[in-house]
Structure 1
């Protein structure tokens, strides 16, 4: 059975990680393709979901790296825009727990320059789900264009949004202002516990879910790292534990979780439209699968999600938990 098409709209970022320098006084960087939406598109394709990526990809050295990585993973780039602007660069420093803190080089880069004409020709007739979020929704001048595109897609497709708050680039107030509108557009809102604290400081998960349901989104999933995830479907909530994993770093784990969630829902024929047939047991099963995908991503360097065959392999010996 061929799974339904998921279209992902957003950025592709060069993630540069510090590595031991060959000479004193030098800084060496290892550059991997990243960016939340791109990671999600790659993870979907590797899991076996037809994945199309709407992106503005530069022809610079990073843009060529992105194209090779995406195409090797099976992502459809037929609707991607060849952008004259440079690629976005993020330099990541990892803490002792493998969590990344980023500094961004993103002024005037390709990812944020969407125009209405560039998206007007995108064919959505075969798209069961459109996923977007992160910086593409809030960075100007293209953010408003992306929002309008989501509104158009919501007529026929399930809409999935991951805010992926980046306070170093965009003030959290901007996300807070736009979030009620996103909830009115979206069927699925997936975010991390860190995002929750930035969006609604001091707010409990239960209260946040109720707030976002009231704004219009039926399914909210909040990932909590090693404590698993909490899912809320129109107020009916369930906690899903995280599997054990040997954590190398957590880069891209949330994006892999989102991909696992969408893949599983698509596999069960639940994507497309307003999720009216979705039940909380379906959500729990999807989150459990998504957590496995995220755990495997934590076991390798950088945003390198697993292939479907790796999900069929025996689980590794227990290590540090991740979600």
Structure 2
């Protein structure tokens, strides 16, 4: 296996979302208090990548409202480069109200009409620079919501001449019909080198298909590496049809908000450190994939151990000590 190399740049393109949670302690008769935290799949991934030590640029469209200010501060404080992002006026930020079940699993109601995140223009995308990035990661709502989604697809087609392309569909059926994702997914697989999605996404994208059938379908459409996260059961990774199942560390779950995004960040961080990003994954081995998915699972487990999408920092002792303690022993 290759040894980790100097950090390589990764660019993340997509949305920021204000995740709001009910605050029962501050609620009273006739009123419901909400607590807002900065989130959004691509933004969470960018934060996690930067905290792990990967030089990360985030390309987003920020509203000038209070949430937009919150988003910028969180990304900047995590070390994310916001050069190339757009200030959007007077478009609002996207808002999601999260409902947590007894296991900490979140479901969302979105308020996203005409939000800044979906209004990318061809001119704005053309003005972005790769600056030596080895990977461009995108997906989630920014890739499916119009008018910006189709323009991002065109941008990916040009960018993949120089970088590895990673896509996380992050299906949101309450906001976008699953049929819209199914229609676009073959195009995304043709553009993507890496497709990372959850078991819940799979059920919506290919109803009735098992994990292996899904991987083979998406390989045939063009994606070389498919990684399906399975919650507490780990993840299945398939590289050109060669497959491995990687376990997830046991952890006391506060909630699962941002867990998938942290997994994606851990995966890309490790693949970049191994020198495997920057092209069509020609030098990637199944051993590399196993190593990267194991690291990603540990990062996701730590994110689940705290409330909200709050991924760990690389220099936190917990990343090197508690995670090893959490790993299953023979």
Report the TM-score, using the length of structure 2 for normalisation.
Answer: 0.95
Which of 16, 22, 26 pairs up with 1:12?
A: 16
Aligned residue for 1:127, secondary structure, equals coil
Q: Within the alignment, does 1:38 sit opposite 2:38 as a pair? A: no
- Residues 102-121 of structure 1, C-alpha deviations (whole Å, 9 max, x = no match): 10000001000000000111
1:61-140 residue pairs with structure 2 within 5 A? Answer: 61-84=66-89, 85-140=91-146
d(CA) in 1 for partners of 2:121, 2:151: 6
Does the CA contact (< 8 Å) of 1:132 and 1:160 recur in 2? yes
Structure 1 unpaired stretches of 5+: none
Aligned residue for 2:38, secondary structure, equals strand
> CA separation of 1:76/1:158 partners in 2, compared to 1, >3 Å: closer, same or farther?
same
Does the CA contact (< 8 Å) of 1:62 and 1:87 recur in 2? yes
Does the CA contact (< 8 Å) of 2:167 and 2:194 recur in 1? yes
d(CA) in 2 for partners of 1:141, 1:178: 14
d(CA) in 1 for partners of 2:156, 2:225: 17
1:48-59 residue pairs with structure 2 within 5 A? Answer: 48-59=53-64
What is the CA distance between 1:318 and its match in structure 2?
Answer: 5.6
Q: What is the aligned length? A: 320
d(CA) in 2 for partners of 1:268, 1:39: 22
Structure 2 unpaired stretches of 5+: none
Aligned CA-pair RMSD: 1.3
Aligned residue for 2:216, secondary structure, equals helix
Aligned residue for 2:249, secondary structure, equals coil
d(CA) in 2 for partners of 1:178, 1:246: 37
1:183-262 residue pairs with structure 2 within 5 A? Answer: 183-262=189-268
d(CA) in 2 for partners of 1:93, 1:125: 39
d(CA) in 1 for partners of 2:304, 2:239: 27
Q: Which runs of 4+ in 1 moved over 6 A?
A: none
What is the CA distance between 1:26 and its match in structure 2?
Answer: 1.2
Q: Within the alignment, does 1:178 sit opposite 2:184 as a pair? A: yes
d(CA) in 2 for partners of 1:258, 1:315: 17
Does the CA contact (< 8 Å) of 1:245 and 1:316 recur in 2? no
What is the CA distance between 1:142 and its match in structure 2?
Answer: 0.6
